[in-house]
Amino acid sequence: MRKLAIAMALASTALASPALARDNSWYVGVEGGFLIVEDSQWDVEVDDGGAVVTVAAVVRNRASASRAVDVRVELLDDTDTVVSRDEATVTTFPGDELTVRRRLFVADPRRWGIDHPHLYTCRVSVLDGDELLDEHTNTFGIRSLSLDPQRGLRINGEHIDLRGACVHHDNGPLGAATIDRADERRVEFLKAAGFNAIRSAHNPVSNAMLDACDRLGMVVMDETFDMWHESKTGDDYGLRFTEWWEADVEAMVHNDINHPSVVFYSIGNEIADGSTPTGYQMGRALADKVRSLDDTRFVTQAISGIMVGGAELFADFRKTFAERTVDETTGVNTAAMSLADIMSEMMKSPVVADKVDEAFSHLDAAGYNYMAARFEMDGERHPNRVMFGSETHPVKIGAEWPLVTGNPFVIGDFTWTGWDYLGEAGIGRVEYADEQPANPMSAFQGAYPWLAAWCGDIDITGVRRPQSYYREIVFGLRSAPYIAVLRPERGRQFLSHSSPWSWSDTVSSWSWPGFDGESVTVEVYADADEVELLVNGRSLGQRPATIDQEYRTAFDLPYEPGVVEAIARRGGTEIGRHSLVTAHAAVVLDARADREEISADGSDLSFIALTLVDTEGSVHTTLDRRVAIEIDGPGVLQGLCSANPTTEERFTAASCTTFDGRALAVIRPTAAGRISVTLTAEKCAPVLVTLIAD
User: What string of H, E and C letters represents the secondary structure of 118-147?
Assistant: CCEEEEEEEEECCEEEEEEEEEECECCEEE
Shared domain for 262 and 139, answered yes or no, is no
- Least Cα distance to 484 among 579, 582, 583, 417 occurs for 579
Q: pLDDT, tens digit, for every residue of 620-629?
A: 999 999 999 9
Instruction: Tell me how many domains the chain contains.
Output: 4
What is the average per-residue pLDDT within 303-313? Answer: 87
Query: Is residue 475 assigned to a domain?
Result: no
Shared domain for 486 and 600, answered yes or no, is no
The predicted structure's pLDDT at residue 310: 82
What is the average per-residue pLDDT within 612-641? Answer: 97
Q: pLDDT, tens digit, for every residue of 386-444?
A: 999 999 999 999 999 999 999 999 999 999 999 999 999 999 998 886 665 555 445 67
Shared domain for 347 and 379, answered yes or no, is yes
> Any idea which of 97-106, 547-556, 657-666 has the lowest mean pLDDT?
97-106
Shared domain for 557 and 637, answered yes or no, is no
Of 558, 581, 604, which residue constitutes the final position of a domain? 581
Of 419, 447, 463, which residue constitutes the final position of a domain? 419
More confident site: 393 or 322: 393
- Least Cα distance to 659 among 670, 671, 648 occurs for 648
Whether residue 345 is predicted with pLDDT greater than 60 in this model: the reply is yes
Query: Is residue 95 assigned to a domain?
Result: yes
Name the percent of the chain lying above pLDDT 90.
Answer: 72
Query: Is residue 534 assigned to a domain?
Result: yes
Shared domain for 511 and 599, answered yes or no, is no
Q: Which residues does 526 contact at the CB level (< 8 Å), separation at least 6?
A: 473, 480, 481, 482, 545, 551, 552, 553, 566, 568, 576
What is the average per-residue pLDDT within 295-310? Answer: 92
CATH code, domain with 600: 2.60.40.10
Query: Is residue 112 assigned to a domain?
Result: yes
CA–centroid distance for 233 within its chain = 25
Shared domain for 124 and 23, answered yes or no, is yes
Distance CA 429, CA 394 (A): 12
Whether residue 38 is predicted with pLDDT greater than 50 in this model: the reply is no
Q: pLDDT, tens digit, for every residue of 568-590?
A: 999 999 999 999 999 998 999 99
Both ends of the chain: CA-CA distance in Å?
27
What is the average per-residue pLDDT within 612-619? Answer: 96
Confidence of residue 11 (pLDDT cuts 50, 70, 90): very low
- Least Cα distance to 397 among 459, 337, 480, 470 occurs for 470
Query: Is residue 443 assigned to a domain?
Result: no
462 and 421 in contact (C-beta within 8 Å)?
no
Shared domain for 225 and 353, answered yes or no, is yes
Shared domain for 512 and 598, answered yes or no, is no
The predicted structure's pLDDT at residue 92: 83
Shared domain for 182 and 66, answered yes or no, is no
The predicted structure's pLDDT at residue 332: 33
Shared domain for 136 and 171, answered yes or no, is no
The predicted structure's pLDDT at residue 14: 27
**∠266-269-275 over CA atoms, to 5°?**
105
Distance CA 512, CA 522 (A): 13
Whether residue 233 is predicted with pLDDT greater than 80 in this model: the reply is yes
More confident site: 260 or 333: 260
The predicted structure's pLDDT at residue 268: 97
Query: Is residue 327 assigned to a domain?
Result: no
What is the average per-residue pLDDT within 244-266? Answer: 95
Over its C-alpha atoms, the chain yields an Rg (Å, rounded) of 28
What is the average per-residue pLDDT within 121-135? Answer: 84
Handedness of CA 484, 188, 412, 348 (dihedral sign): positive
Whether residue 2 is predicted with pLDDT greater than 70 in this model: the reply is no
Shared domain for 485 and 402, answered yes or no, is no
The predicted structure's pLDDT at residue 464: 98
The predicted structure's pLDDT at residue 357: 94
Of 581, 596, 614, which residue constitutes the final position of a domain? 581
Distance CA 399, CA 549 (A): 9
Whether residue 235 is predicted with pLDDT greater than 60 in this model: the reply is yes
Whether residue 658 is predicted with pLDDT greater than 50 in this model: the reply is yes
What is the average per-residue pLDDT within 478-486? Answer: 97
Which range of residues forms the domain containing residue 51?
19-143
Q: pLDDT, tens digit, for every residue of 529-553?
A: 999 999 999 999 999 999 999 999 9
Average pLDDT of the residues of the chain: 88
Most confidently modeled range among 87-91, 105-109, 636-640? 636-640
More confident site: 632 or 438: 632
More confident site: 30 or 600: 600
What is the average per-residue pLDDT within 554-580? Answer: 97
Largest CA distance in the chain: 91
Name the percent of the chain lying above pLDDT 70.
Answer: 88
The predicted structure's pLDDT at residue 69: 87
Whether residue 317 is predicted with pLDDT greater than 90 in this model: the reply is no
Query: Is residue 430 assigned to a domain?
Result: no
165 and 414 in contact (C-beta within 8 Å)?
yes
Query: Is residue 50 assigned to a domain?
Result: yes
- The H-assigned helical ranges of 375-429 are 375-381, 397-405
Shared domain for 375 and 235, answered yes or no, is yes
- Least Cα distance to 10 among 37, 42, 47 occurs for 42
